[in-house]
Amino acid sequence: MIYDTHPDLASWTRTHTVVNEILNMINFDFEFEKAVDAILANIEKYTNCRGITVSEVDFSLSKKVIARSPQFKEEYENKDPLLSYPITLINNRVSHTLDVYNLEANTMPKKDAETLNLFRELLQQAVNKEATKRDPLTGLYSRAYFDSQLQTEIINAKPINRAIALLMIDIDHFKKVNDTYGHPVGDVVLEKVATVLKAVIDKKGFVSRYGGEELTVILPGIGKDEAINISEEIRSYISNLQIPINSGKNIKVTVSIGVSAFPEDAEEAYELLKASDEALYSAKNSGRNRVVAFSGTERAGLRKREEKVAVEERQTAPPPRFMIVKVEISPVLKDTMFDEPVNIKDVHISNNNIFLLDSLQSRVYIFNLSGELINTFGKKGEGTSENMIEPTSISVDREGWIWITDSGNHAVKVFDPLGKSILTISATIDEEGKPIPGTGKGCFNLPYSLMISDRDEVIVVERMNRRVQIFDRMGNFKTWTNIPQKMGSDLHRPDPVDICPDGYSGYLVLDTINSSLIHFSAENEAINFFGEFGSDEGKLVCVSAISYYPKWRDILSKDAKPIIVTAEMGDVNRIQFFTTEGDFIKSIDLSPFTEDTTIRPANIFCSDDGGIYIVPQLGSTILYLLKIK
């Protein structure tokens, strides 16, 4: 800590307490604006800096003030700051600045400079955490954040019957803009439209880039009539916008907007989204550059389209068995990408990033889907914080927190999206601050795998205690359940090594020694066993991992059950597909797909787009991607 030698112990203690409070704001229940306001207020309280702002810096290096300190004065508005500190993202791009306009006594004592630097680091953490929720081009919220926020708003609105409006916005003829002027101009158009949306909506709601040229706006507490007025303001503003392009020319674009409202048009998030999308469909079909609200006409049109789709599906319904046209396997990451020997133990895909857990160096490597290294963190060692010994499993929750089973330290470690340690879960800590094995609630003995449920519960499988423990996202213990033993004369005590969702609200645990899977309900009761030892199709041998397959509806008939994928190492070298009720579907032999090495899958992860990421048992390639077509 930089204040260890500070002569004023009382001042240091107060500052230390405030820093921890702001860290808690950043790590738990994060709201960017509140965190920034707290940082600015406390800079003025604990230093001689006065009149402070935080500004956003866009790609053209233009600055826009987004927050002002309590003692900021109007006279500072048109002045240059006395001090300006860059705030950078993980990729080193300057995204914000911390600007100071006045110093008491026109001087900066050393202790104030140190305190200011401490708060600047907190601001950098807040900015980077906020960036994980944003679309990098427009600065709007990402699709993942939109999905989560819409669901949250609906859940919060139901008990009090509060209105929520949802706007679905599409830039008209955007493809023509790209084809005529090029994608860089298309990017400018997206940025300009996003700027209009942020200005009009301001603090009334949440603006997101849904995908491509489609944008969304969530308006909590706003009914349909007011939402229509807001939409018309957006449409009118954009239609009169002059967008500069190359050679001093300007172009104009228009938007079509679909509007729906909760609870008037829908009671669930997916229904509300479907209603806005149908209204947008009507706006585009009736000439574009207009606002259409979901109504009886749109409802009838939606029903008619759904009936048509249902008829087409019945007419071309696939058989209820697995349909694979083609399987492709290609290397995604190679060991030449690493500066040191690695042993990849687990893989997780989240927010278009690949998270690799290295048990040899006790590190996490984060790559984008193009194979570029974004970040790495963690180190080998005993104790809490970033130290880990033979970590075995990794998962990422909806807020971007990274959860790891630190098996060698008998604990679960939690890191923020930047890789900073924020929590160690273990009810048994020795006098040296090191977790030790235990059997009580909240204690671990070789925690080996974990998953995040759709209820934001963290479910941890322990190998030695042969049980499942469940915690909330704050690390608070909720309950546990023992792993039952499958009945049979030749079976062993269970050896649980992996866990995955069941597609509903329950989960499955892999008992590798008995080649079986145990299906648990949402109430944590074992409701089914399936799996039989053997190398024949539909049986399991050397089974090492399981993963829920999110795109199961694309490869099964619509009335089928969710499916999971199993990975089997050794000479069997295959993955197999089962329903969560245990019905065998399909086996894929991985041997024909690689010429120079045998994959022998040690671990797998199925991404939301249907890709199956495979960690091989041996071989030079670190990670494979299997695609089913």
Active site residues per annotation: 213
CB environment 565-593: b (16+ within 10 A), e (fewer): bbbbbeebbbbbbbbbebebbbbbebeee
Cα distances (Å, whole numbers) of residue 128 to 134, 390, 592: 10, 28, 43
How far is Cα 418 from Cα 377, in angstroms, rounded to an integer?
8
> How many helices, marked H, and strands, marked E, lie in the chain?
10, 37
SS (H, E, C) 300-315: HHHHHHHHHHHHHHHH
**What token pair was written down for 124?**
């950098």
Which residue type, as a one-letter code, is found at position 607? Answer: S
Q: Is the dihedral of CA 18, 23, 26, 30 positive or negative?
A: negative
Strand-pairing partners, residue 616, are 601
Give the SS3 label for residue 351: coil
SS (H, E, C) 357-410: EECCCCEEEEEECCCCEEEEECEECCCCCCEECCEEEEEECCCCCEEEEEHHHC
**What token pair was written down for 235?**
């449409």
Query: DSSP string covering 511-546, please?
Result: ETTTTEEEEE-TTS-EEEEE--BSSSTTSBSSEEEE
Q: Are the C-beta atoms of 387 and 356 separated by less than 8 Å?
A: no
Helix 32-46 / helix 9-27 crossing angle, nearest 10 deg: 170
Q: Look at residues 391, 395, 389 and name the one whose alpha carbon lies nearest to residue 355.
A: 395
Name every residue whose Cβ is closer than 8 Å to that of residue 453 and which is 6 or more positions away in sequence. 459, 501, 505, 507
In this structure, what are the phi and psi dihedrals at residue 107, rounded to the nearest 5 degrees? -145, 160
